[in-house]
Amino acid sequence: MVTEAIVEIKTPDGTCDAVFLHPVTGSYPGVLLWPDAGGLRPSMIGIAKRTAADGYSVLVPNPFYRTAKAPVFDVSTFDFRNPADMAMLQTMTGPLHVAGAAERDALAYVAFLDAQPEVDMAKKIVTEGYCMGGALAVRTAAAVPDRVGAGASFHGGGLVTDRPDSPHLLAPKIKARMYFGVASNDDERQPDAKDRLRDAFVAARVPAEIEVYPGTIHGWCVTDMPPQNGKAIYSKPDAERAWRRLMELYRATLP
C-alpha cells in the first residue's frame, strides 16, 4: 500500500504545493519526479504512485507554483496550436526558466526529501522527468551531484540547445548515472541532439544511455495526452518499456 499526502515546501521563491507518496511503513530511496508541461495532476501522480509501490518515496512538485496552484491545465483540452493556450503555458513556464530558478527548486525539494523519515538517507536520491521535466532532472543532477545517484528523462524537451545554459553542457557537474528516452518525432526534428548529448556525457566521463523509441510521439509515457492529428500520443507498450528501463536504472544505482 502507498500513502499519499499533499505537502507544502518552502523555497527561496515562495511555497510550492506538491504531493508526497511512499509505502505505508519503512524508509526508502527518495525520488524527485518532475512533471511535463501539463504540471502536477492525476497522470503524474499515477506514475509516482506506481514508483512508490515499487519501494520508493516520491515527491511530485507543482513546477508552476510561482504563478498558480495545481492543477493548472486541463491537458485534455490544451491545444499547442492555440495561441491563447501557448500564451498561458509561457506565463507558467517563464518564471521556472529564469536563470537559477530550477536549481533553487531542486535544492529545496531534495532537502525536503532528506528531512522525511520515509526517505532512506543511506541511499542516493534519484530523479526523473517528462517533457520539460527531462531538462529539470538534468539540472537537478547537476545542482546536487553528491546526493543524486541517477537521473532519467523521457521525451525530454530542450535538452540540447545552442544557449550557453543548455542542459547538456551540465554533464561535467553530474555524478549520476543517466538515461534518456527520446521520442521518434523529437529525433526527427533535431537529429543531432542525441549525438551532442552523448558526446557531452562521454567527454565528461559520466555514464549515460540514450535510446530513441521508434514510432513514438513526444509525450508517449503520459496517459492523459490528447491525440495529435488524430493519432494517439500515449503508447502503452512503449510506456511499459520506458518503465522497465527506469526501474533497471534505479535498481542498478540503488543496490
Domain spanning 2-253: CATH 3.40.50.1820: yes
CA 218, 220, 221, 225 dihedral sign is positive
Q: In whole angstroms, give the CA distance from residue 191 to residue 197.
A: 11
Q: What is the 3-state secondary structure (H, E, C) of 90-102?
A: HHHHCHHHCCCHH
Q: Spell out the domain ranges in the chain.
A: 2-253
pLDDT digit string (tens) for the chain, length 255 residues: 999 999 999 999 999 999 999 999 999 999 999 999 999 999 999 999 999 999 999 999 999 999 999 998 888 787 777 888 888 888 888 999 899 999 999 999 999 999 999 999 999 999 999 999 999 999 999 999 999 999 999 999 999 999 999 999 999 999 999 999 999 999 999 999 999 999 999 999 999 999 999 999 999 999 999 888 888 999 999 999 999 999 999 999 987
Q: Residue 241: what residue type?
A: R
Which phi and psi angles does 213 have, rounded to 5°?
-90, 105
CB 46 within 8 A of CB 52: no
Residues paired with residue 211 on neighbouring β-strands, in sequence order: 181
Is residue 95 exposed (0-12), middle (13-18) or buried (19+ Cβ within 10 Å)? middle
Q: pTM to 2 decimals?
A: 0.96
In 3D space, the residue among 42, 4, 36 whose CA is nearest the CA of residue 156 turns out to be 36
pLDDT at 73: 83
pLDDT at 140: 98
pLDDT at 79: 76
CB 192 within 8 A of CB 199: no
Which phi and psi angles does 195 have, rounded to 5°?
-70, -40
pLDDT at 82: 82
Residue matched to cell numbers 532537502: 111
